[in-house]
Amino acid sequence: MRAERSRLEREVAGSGHATQESLELLAEIDRRERDLAAREAELNRKQSVAARVQREAGRATMLEEVAARLDEREREIASTEARITQVEEAAESGRLRLDEREKRLAAMEESLRERVRALDERELSIHTRETVFETDLDIRETKLDRRERAADELEQRLEQKERDLETYVGRLQSDLHRATA
């Protein structure tokens, strides 16, 4: 459009007179340019609105997912609390029965104590092994981190020495070249 307008303006300027038709064409071109600019601005505004809506939709989806996970966790906690209540009630019932039958169940009670002690020892043993394993893992990670840092430092020093050596060799070659020249 601008090329056509420029051409028409040159024709009008070149001929020395403006015809009504040329002026109308220029006015039409101006109007079309304004319309095009307005349409471009509207499209840019709509594109910006669409991008904002899309970001907001992404946030809404994320919030819905978080809410769903929270709901699931609440259901799990409620289920766990119900099981704990059942276990506590069963334990209380068992204690009452044990109190009533204490004399007859003395031998069985000792056996149960032994089993509990064995389980406690096993649990302690497992906990100790787990602690040793975690400690060993931490130590290994620490040693590995230390070795990685040392290797990085060594590599940096080596790179620096290589640069220094290159500089030194360059100077020697330059001095040798000057001495031979």
Q: Is the dihedral of CA 28, 34, 37, 38 positive or negative?
A: negative
Residue 115 belongs to a domain: no
Average pLDDT over residues 118-144: 93
Task: Tell me: pLDDT of 108 over 80.
Answer: no
CA dist., res. 66 & res. 73, Å (int): 11
- 37 with 94, same domain? yes
CA dist., res. 85 & res. 96, Å (int): 17
Go through the chain and tell me how many residues it has: 181
- 145 with 180, same domain? yes
For the entire predicted model, the pTM comes to: 0.31
Confidence of residue 16 (pLDDT cuts 50, 70, 90): very low
How is 107-121 classified by DSSP, letter by letter? HHHHHHHHHHHHHHH
- 151 with 88, same domain? no
Q: Which domain holds residue 160?
A: 122-181
- 129 with 167, same domain? yes
First to last CA, the chain: 70
Task: Tell me: pLDDT of 46 over 80.
Answer: yes
Q: What are phi and psi of 103, to 5 degrees?
A: -65, -45
Residue 128 belongs to a domain: yes
